[in-house]
Each structure stands twice: as structure tokens, then as C-alpha cells.
Amino acid sequence: MIDIVLFCTAGLLYVLSLMFFLAFFLKSKNNKEEAKGVEKIALYLLWFGALIQIAYLLARFALNKYFPVMTLFEVIAFITLIFAFGIIYLGRKEVIKNIELKLLPFLLILMSLTFFMDYTPGVVSFSNLWLIFHVPFGLGSYGGFIVSTIIAAIYFVKYLRNKRESKESLETYYNLIFKIIKISFILLTLCIVTGAIWAYFAWGSFWGWDSKETWSLLTWISYLISIILYNFNSKRKFLNILLVLLSFFVVVITFIGVNYFMFGLHSYI
């Protein structure tokens, strides 16, 4: 149970961090010097929450003797850890003002889903060294796609309020979205490659057109198209953002639809 206690503690620290970031946002309008101290506390809480979540990961690994990404609870927990460090990184870069305040609520919503899930340990099937690389690469890409989609949704709203938003502000959001997508795309590529190698050892072939494999490939293709459009068709940014939002729908099918509504070799994950 120590692992669950650590995970819940991390969630509580994220809630406190969000509250302090909100206090910082409100105070910065009147007293910027005093607000800086509040922001530091918020950042410390965010960092401490992420470190506690790493402790959860290590505790679960020590208790169950496998890398904890076998059940839906463990998968969501791992993605939220990536999400947390993504928020920390983006906050340090200061690319978008108050990015922590905009992303932390989504992190907490994602964590809250775990309260409705079974947190008992999973069963390791077809254990292989490549599994240790394959699953984290995939979950890392999912985490990145979630963050990029949230920022794309913010861009979408800001674009519709174009009169009140400068082109420079929209450009900052647009470039950040595709920086995250490019990193996530690389992780997804590594996930597919290591998955193919793992499949060879587990089932005797590199590719079998399993439902998860097929939808992962469709996800890869959809984001590849958006990256190509980003690099070679910079004039139609709004349409490309729509493609990013639609691509995430493919991610949802790959991650949830395949696991719960389609039969395949990955249905147990």
C-alpha cells in the first residue's frame, strides 16, 4: 500500500501547487514582488510532487518485481508523471505565460481518473527486455500528445478571438505545439520499432496487423502529415491545428478503444 500512499501524496501536492499558482496569478496583478515568493512555493510543491511520484514508481517496482506499466492504473500514473515533468520543463522555459496554471488542471483530471480504477498489480505476459523500452516509449509519446493537444485547444480558442490576440502570441503557441509533437513522434517511432522487436520474440513475427499495431501506425501517419504541413505549409496554420486535434482522436482510439472495444493481442494492456 505504500506505493498508493505515495501516489495520492503526489496528487495532493499537485493540488496545492495549483492553488499557489492561482494565488500567484492573482497577486501578480497588484504586488509582483510578493507574488514571486508565492510562485516559488508553487514550483517547489510541483517539483516535490513529481519526485514523490518517482518514489511511487520505485516502490511499486520493488513490491511487484516488474516495471509498473501493465495495468490501466499504472499506465495513467506513468503518463501523469511525464505530464508533470513536461509542465516543469515548459514552465522553466517560460515560452507561454502561466503555463503551469493552464496545464495543471488537466494533470489533476487525469490523475483523478485513477480513483475509479483497480490498483492491484498486473500480470506480466511475454516478459522481455524490449518490453522495458517499448511501453515507456509509447506512454511517453501519449503524454506528449496529450500536452500538445491541450495547447492546440488553447491556440484554437485564441485564434477564434483573433482580435484580442497578437500574431506573435499565436505563433509562440503554434511553434511550441510542434516542438512537443516532434519529440512525441520520435518516441512513438521508437515505440513501434521496439514493439516490433518484442513481437518477434513473443509471437514469432515483427508485424501481425494486430488492432493496436494498426492504430499505432495510423497515429504515426496522422502526426507525420501534421509535421510535414508544419514544415512546408506554414500559411495554413489553423487547418494544421485542426489536424492535430483530429490526430489526438486517433490516439484515444489507439489507447482506449483498442484496449476495451477491440479484440487483439494488446487487449490485456
d(CA 234, CA 241): 11
pTM for the full model?
Answer: 0.83
- Using the structure block, give the residue that is written with the C-alpha cell 504541413: 229
Under the banding of pLDDT at 50, 70 and 90, the label for residue 264 is: low
d(CA 177, CA 155): 9
Q: Is the pLDDT of residue 46 over 90?
A: yes
Under the banding of pLDDT at 50, 70 and 90, the label for residue 268 is: very low
Write the pLDDT tens digit of every residue in 90-144.
888 766 778 888 899 999 998 998 888 878 876 665 556 777 788 888 888 988 9
Question: Domain extents for the chain?
Answer: 1-121, 125-269
CA–CA distances in Å: residue 124 to residues 20, 56, 70, 167, 229: 40, 19, 7, 50, 40
